[in-house]
Amino acid sequence: MYLLFIARQGENKMYISRRDFIKQSAVAAVASGVATGAFAEETAFDPKNYEALRRQLRAYYPDECHGEVKDPLQKQSYEKIKAQMYAWAKANPDYDALDARQASYKAIAEHYVPFLFEESPFYFESGVNGGWGGNRPARLVKKLCYHFYKDKSLVPDEAFATLRNRTAGRFLLCCGPFVDEIHHVPPIRVVLEKGFGGIRNEVAQAIEKCPKNDEFGRRELETALLGLDTIREIQLSFAKEAKRRLAAGNLTPQARRNFARIADSAQRCPWEPPKTFYEGLNTLWFIREVLGYVDGLSIFSLGRPDAWLIDLYKADIAAGRLTKAEAADLVARFLITADEHHDKNIPVNSYDDHEMEIPITLGGCDRAGKPLYNELTRLFFDAHLQTDCVFPKLHCRISKDSPQEYLSKIGDMLMKGHAVFALFSDDLHIRLFVKDGYPIEEAREYIGGGCWDGHIDSVMDSDVANYISVVRILELSIYRDPKVEEAAKVQIESFDEAASFEEVHKILYGNFIRFFRNVISQYTRYGRQFAKIAPNPVYTMCLKGGIESRRDTTDGGVPARPRFITLGFLGNVVDSLLAINSVCFEKKICTLKEFLAAVRSNWAGERGQQLRAAAMAAPYWGDGSDASCGEMAWWIRNIYDDIDGFETDQGCKYCLAIYIYREFMYWGNKTRATPDGRRDGDRLAQGFSPSEYRCKEGVTTVLNSIASLPHDCLRASNANLTFDKSAMSADTFAAVFRVYAKKCGHLLQPNCNSVEELIDAQKHPERHQNIIVKVCGFSARFVSLSKRWQDEVIARHRLM
């Protein structure tokens, strides 16, 4: 019988059996009024009811989610906006970025084309997938202003060249020029509360009070005002289009009902706050799409519908405006809309296939701290599972106090092969938000954005897509390459001549932290120049502090704009150091030079294989040993201390994170053999997950390892763990989730399957269409993965 851990208290690990653990969890659940395993009766969803909707969505959306929609009117609209923008720029050669943004708002308002689906009651579609795909008119501002970098000497050519070389050389990834320009959190709560019209009124009042000597601030506000008026025109265009379609006739009863509802609602909402559950759901989609369209943002969330729309839902039910069956149908159509943004049969092979950045956040707690699991939560779960959706991603907040039914429901869906979850720990996230100075009521409203970051909606505008590869510095420390080092401006000292492990350790850490500090100093020096290229006035005014500052969120206008820097592949570095210490200095099987020679040979020959076996026998991250836990903790604490005091270009803090996207495969394919036993081209470790080549432990040991770390030094982390289906149950998962939330980290991404099941799916895909696996920050149907990705998922270590 495998064991689950309760906690690590000081140096003492505490264990009880799985049976006792589940029993204790059940007792706690009953005490809180929730019976263990007693799922509320599921709402039934018949997928056949949504076949017509799926056909209409597929006929509109591109096959690959980042492409252009298939409606020719959308492309024509973009071309008209583009022509008007370029004509304006030619006639006004002395423009700046705010001028260009104003011109774009005017062109958008004039040429916007709405699109409605007969089978959908929702109105929001602009053809840009929340800014992640399609023709994005607002991005024309960046195209028109990008030459300012050079013409106005905003950033030296040498700095751009270095950034390009570092990116091409697998040292780092930054989703923009010195800033992450594409990942943004939608301001949903403020729009639900005030509507875009209420925000517009506050901006108008701020213009009247704007100091006369702040001409730039006045222009920022006036530009935002114009953008908000453009949003109003976009909203009204949907009402107009719905009326036109009704007048044209020849509609099904479903289409007539949908268009009548849109014609009425789009006159008001979301310019005014939503008054019904239906309007609330539509507002979530509308915000995501419209800000991608007018400000050129890439928005990655649909908020917390079970927390923020529950009062509207209850009021509708009580007043007889909505039946529970009608509410369920709305939820299903809401989810299916996300699921059809791409063709799920296209193989996952390249970098961003099947990645649409459409998550919703469920569960957690309310503003008062009470665990949240309600009728809407269950409704979203049931609809997602029974309509067989992959998207939207389900970002579920969990805690030690989560209702047993809620956690077991997630476990039950995993047992059914529906691995679409990213599980955020409330116990850690809320505490760290409060530590950073956010009011606890705001902290409790955080959402999961993108793949794995926690953000406070309507408050934060985080800069998150910044990866730095620790293992790349290790690689260069072994395989010196002066040409690459010069191009990337990285200073590397070799540790070949090191006489002790301490010396190896000191040299490698020095190589890394020297590079790391240089990278973030470049980000700080040049990041703010992006404000002169592509400001986001409407978005800024929707965020806390934006109106008061009269400065764009790209220009220090929002107090809460932390920057996350993720430490890539730290597990491989820890394992490599432990192997060097064990083989060369503790057991003295060979000299350091001989060992490094074996690594450089890709472990060739009999001696190379012997030394690789010795390396694989050394302690490794995830084995629960003091050596591995201590080494991982040492790196986290020291990096945290060594960047303490560094401020971002926005005057905020740099926050450490440990997670990784598909780079664990793509960068791994190009990474040469490392001292941990990896061979040339082998994949690298994901986040806090142990290396797949080393791990042979059970769930207890791996979770104890993660629990031992100084998580207060991090703002985000991820463990992508696969559990063996034969050893798990819904309630066992619930026990694991409860412990993970209390002790283990920011985020857990669980898979549950068996090797035999997946191999059979490779041979007979028609039998296994419903198996969904969590690949890294995204999920996909296993049968849609390319062969190399299927093999990678099959080869993962399964915890028991």
Dihedrals φ, ψ of 492, to 5°? -120, 130
Task: Clarify whether residues 246 and 262 are in a common domain.
Answer: yes
Burial of 179 per CB tally in 10 Å (0-12, 13-18, 19+): buried
The per-residue pLDDT of the chain, averaged, comes to 94
Taking a C-beta distance cutoff of 8 angstroms, is the pair 519, 642 a contact? Answer: no
For residues 77 and 221, state if they share a domain.
yes
For residues 287 and 305, membership in a common domain is answered with no
Q: Average the pLDDT over 543-555 and give the result.
A: 97
Tell me if 590 is assigned to some domain: yes
Q: Are residues 247 and 258 in the same domain?
A: yes
pLDDT at 15: 46
Q: Is the peptide bond before 270 cis (omega within 30 degrees of 0)?
A: yes
Average pLDDT over residues 343-367: 92
- CA-to-CA distance for 67 and 342, rounded, in angstroms? 9
What is the token pair recorded at 174?
Answer: 């930054």
Q: Report the C-alpha gap between 297 and 285 in whole angstroms.
A: 14
Same domain, yes or no: 202 and 91: yes
Alpha carbons within 13 A on the beta-carbon side of 118: 16
Q: Are residues 311 and 326 in the same domain?
A: yes
The residue to which tokens 């014609």 are assigned: 263
Give the mean pLDDT of 471-498. Answer: 98
Tell whether 472 is covered by a domain: yes
pLDDT band at 39 (very low <50, low <70, confident <90, very high): low
Q: Is residue 179 part of a domain?
A: no
Distance CA 184, CA 356 (A): 13
**CA atoms of 455 and 447, how far apart (whole Å):** 5
Q: What pLDDT digit, counting tens, does each position of 52-109 carry?
A: 999 999 999 999 999 999 999 999 999 999 999 999 999 999 999 999 999 999 999 9
Token digits of residue 403: 């209702």
The continuous run of DSSP H or E covering 306 comes out as helix 305-308
Average pLDDT over every residue of 785-796: 96
pLDDT at 693: 85
Close Cβ partners of 520 (under 8 Å, ≥ 6 residues apart): 565, 643, 646, 648, 654
Q: Position of tokens 């401020």?
A: 647
Quick one: 310 and 275 in the same domain?
A: no
Structure tokens given for 153 = 């000497």
| Residues of the domain holding 604 | 466-527+564-696
Would you give the DSSP letter of residue 44?
A: P
Copy the structure tokens of residue 642: 């060594």
**Among 299, 319, 345, which residue terminates a domain?**
299
Residue 696 confidence (pLDDT): 86
Is residue 7's pLDDT more than 80? no
- Does this model's pTM top 0.75? My answer is yes
Q: Is residue 537 part of a domain?
A: no
% of the chain surpassing 90 pLDDT: 91
| Cβ–Cβ < 8 Å for 209, 217 | no
Please check whether residues 399 and 410 belong to one and the same domain: yes
pLDDT tens sequence across 668-689: 999 999 999 999 999 999 999 9
Look at residues 651, 630, 623, 654 and name the one whose alpha carbon lies nearest to residue 640: 654
Tokens of 567: 């430490």
* pLDDT digits 0-9 by tens, 361-388: 999 999 999 999 999 999 999 999 999 9
Q: Which amino acid is at 783?
A: V
Three-state DSSP state, 752: strand
Does 5 score more than 60 pLDDT?
A: no
Nearest to 316 by CA among 358, 290, 278, 289: 278
Q: CA angle at residue 647 from 646 to 649, to 5 degrees?
A: 140
Amino acid 694: pLDDT: 87
* Inside any domain, residue 44: no
Find the range with the poorest average confidence among 147-151, 258-262, 340-344, 692-696.
Answer: 692-696
Tokens of 677: 């036993």
pLDDT higher than threshold 80 for residue 796: yes
Q: Is 491 exposed, middle or buried (0-12, 13-18, 19+ CB in 10 A)?
A: exposed
295 is a domain residue: yes
* Residue 317 counted as domain residue: yes
Domain-terminating residue out of 661, 696, 731: 696
Cα–Cα nearest to 35, from 410, 403, 414, 409: 403
Please list, in sequence order, all residues whose beta carbon lies within 8 angstroms of the beta carbon of residue 275, skipping any fewer than 6 positions away. 268, 269, 312
Residue with tokens 């269950």: 378
Within a domain: 603:
yes
What is each CA distance from 607 to 57, 127, 479, 615, 732, in whole angstroms? 59, 59, 20, 12, 45
Confidence class of residue 418 from pLDDT cuts 50, 70 and 90?
A: very high
597, pLDDT greater than 60: yes
What pLDDT, on a 0 to 100 scale, did the predictor assign at position 14?
Answer: 41
**Residue 789 scores a pLDDT above 70:** yes
Q: Are 772 and 624 part of one and the same domain?
A: no
| pLDDT band per the 50, 70, 90 thresholds, residue 275 | very high
Identify the pLDDT of residue 10: 38
Does residue 339 share a domain with residue 198?
A: no
Q: Which of 273, 299, 325 is the last residue of a domain?
A: 299
**Residue matched to tokens 């903790």:** 633
Cβ partners under 8 Å of residue 548, min gap 6: 206
**CB-count burial class (<10 Å; 0-12, 13-18, 19+) for 777:** buried
pLDDT of residue 109: 98
Res 627 pLDDT > 50: yes
Tell me the CA distances in angstroms from 423 to 363, 444, 451, 475, 748, one per residue in order. 10, 15, 11, 33, 5
Task: Say how far apart CA 411 and CA 72 lie, in whole Å.
Answer: 44
Q: How far apart are CA 502 and CA 511, in angstroms?
A: 14
Name the domain count of the chain: 3
The dihedrals phi and psi of 432, each to the nearest 5 degrees, come to: -70, -35
Helix (H) or strand (E) holding 285: helix 277-294
Q: Same domain, yes or no, for 666 and 732?
A: no
For residues 682 and 731, membership in a common domain is answered with no
